[in-house]
Amino acid sequence: MARLFGTDGVRGLANKDITAELALDLSVAVAHELSGQGAFGGHRSTAVVGRDPRASGEFLSMAVMAGLASAGVDVLDAGVLPTPAIAYLTQRMNAEMGAMLSASHNAMPDNGLKFFARGGHKLPDEIEDRISGRLGSAWERPTGPAVGRIRPFPRGAEFYIEHLLTAVPGRLDGLRVVIDGAHGAASVVGPEVFRRAGATVDVIGGEPDGLNINDGYGSTHVAQLQEAVRLRGADMGVAFDGDADRCLAVDAHGHEVDGDQIMAILALSMREQGRLAQDTLVATVMSNLGLIQAMQAQGIHVVQTAVGDRYVLEEMRARGYSLGGEQSGHVIMLEHGTTGDGVLTALALAQRVVSSGTPLHELAAVMTRLPQVLVNVRGVDKNRVDSDEAVQADVAAVGQELGGQGRVLLRKSGTEPVVRVMVEADTEERAREYADRLASVVSERLSLHA
């Protein structure tokens, strides 16, 4: 049986895969698992609940709050806020759990449920599995004054804004920034933080109507931001995704600055300030080889993990590292947050531009991105990719031919019969040639229709 939880909560088509019934039942199971003794031991547990502005979040958040309250948990309804805000507020309010309704960068018809434990931490696999195992179990329902209460929590947004400005206290006076809110959860708080820090702010993608989240705007569609930065003569632009746990940037020339480049800039800044723990950056195996080479040249060690910000975070917490993230723009600054935070990342990046007096395109030039080609090979038995001798022999051969000028990565999709072939090389042509060659071998050897 497939796991209910994916790499970032439970996600699917709203009102078909992610139903009100599932949201309610899952929230009850979460309440029982995370409350400890909770309402059933005389202690009133608390949960902080938030959502992004997509339409389905309106009824799904009601179902989540109903489930939690029915299990005896008091609920603070924070409304529309970024995912990292809910993680922070779970910690700040000393709540036993937090819940976020969002499908991140997915299109509007999807939605999802993410849960946080005490301290604002994402749930490990074993806790998620125990929660799944509780679904449908009989339980003793509290009655009378033992049921949970649901209260609005409008102060949550202000608490989060204050937290960000305290974490990155430098002023941004004189800096002009275009902010793309993806018509998502940071459409209000993102621009407000930058304005309070002193920046001149232009906003695009900042008018959510419940249906337009991520639609042509945000970190997965940066063309609008690139054009806006150039037309308005801004110093830089930043783009969030729907729930604002990731951030990409654009320099004054309209060139994209991806998550790898942002991490490189912040790593050097934090080391300069004595805040880069063990002079180490944590990235995933999908980060560009150019990042590793640039950091090595600067005397910074790079630890790589499996794909997914949760694995980056696990490594950081286990080893005491302070900075990590993904090429997609999930950046974790562990001294200030327990998860990727797009607004925090954008604020720290802008502060580096101002404090260094260096334009973003010059800061980003610390690393040179090697051309990277990704080919998705569909309709294959992904579970044989690591054991097929012919596939592995060709991977080894390509790696040897590339030498130190590139690398090869074959990765199984977590949800589809797909193998992702990624090749980096010194030229786009070589990367494409090798990626197509390996994709052909994978397709031939592992085809489900052979």
Helices (H), 71-185: 83-92, 125-134, 155-167
* Main-chain dihedrals φ then ψ at residue 381, nearest 5 degrees: -85, 90
Is a pLDDT exceeding 80 seen at residue 43?
A: no
pLDDT computed for residue 293 by the predictor: 93
235, two tokens:
């110093």
User: Which pLDDT score, from 0 to 100, does residue 415 have?
Assistant: 64
Neighbours of 210 (CB within 10 A): 14
Q: 245 among the known binding-site residues?
A: yes
DSSP H or E stretch at residue 110: strand 110-117
Residue 327 pLDDT > 80: yes
**pLDDT in the model for residue 37:** 45
Query: Locate tokens 């309250």: which residue?
Result: 69
Backbone phi, then psi, for 310, in 5-degree steps? -65, -35
The set of residues, in sequence order, having a beta carbon less than 8 Å from that of 221 and lying 6+ positions away, is: 214
Element (H, E) at 443: helix 428-446
The tokens of 420 are what? 């992702």
Average pLDDT over residues 275-299: 95
Measured distance CA(342)–CA(330) in Å, rounded: 7
Closest to 89 in 3D by CA, of 120, 45, 128, 135: 120
Structural domains in the chain? 10-153 (3.40.120.10), 159-364 (3.40.120.10), 372-446 (3.30.310.50)
Average pLDDT of span 412-419:
79
**Residue 124 has what DSSP assignment?**
P
Q: What is the pLDDT of residue 414?
A: 67
pLDDT at site 2: 63
Res 450 pLDDT > 70: no
Give per-residue pLDDT as tens, 351-399: 999 999 999 999 999 999 999 899 999 998 888 888 989 899 999 999 8
Mean pLDDT, to the nearest integer, of 191-208? 98
Torsion, Cα of 286, 288, 292, 294 (10° steps): -160
In whole angstroms, give the CA distance from residue 70 to residue 48.
15
- Pick the more confident residue, 408 or 1: 408
Please check the confidence at residue 38 and state whether its pLDDT lies above 50: no
- The pLDDT of 274-282, averaged and rounded, is 98
Helix (H, G, I), strand (E, B) or coil at 418: strand
241 labeled binding residue: yes
Mean pLDDT of the residues in the chain? 94
DSSP type of residue 382: G
Predicted pLDDT at 133: 92
Please state the rounded mean pLDDT for residues 130-134. Answer: 93
Which one from 61, 104, 269, 328 is the annotated catalytic residue?
104
pLDDT of 41 higher than 60: no
Question: What amino acid is encoded at 26 in this protein?
Answer: L
pLDDT-derived band at 405, boundaries 50, 70, 90 = confident
Q: Is 372 exposed, middle or buried (0-12, 13-18, 19+ CB in 10 A)?
A: buried
Confidence label for 317 from pLDDT (cuts 50, 70 and 90): very high
Is the pLDDT assigned to residue 39 strictly greater than 60? Answer: no
Model pLDDT, residue 42 = 60
The predicted structure's pLDDT at residue 448: 80
Across 205-209, 272-276, 305-309, least confident range: 305-309
Residue 44's pLDDT is 86
Give tens-digit pLDDT for 159-176: 999 999 999 999 999 999
Tell me, yes or no, if 356 is annotated catalytic.
no
pLDDT for 8 equals 81
Half-sphere exposure of 141 (CA within 13 A, CB side): 9
pLDDT band at 404 (very low <50, low <70, confident <90, very high): confident
Tell me which residue has tokens 């990624």.
Answer: 422
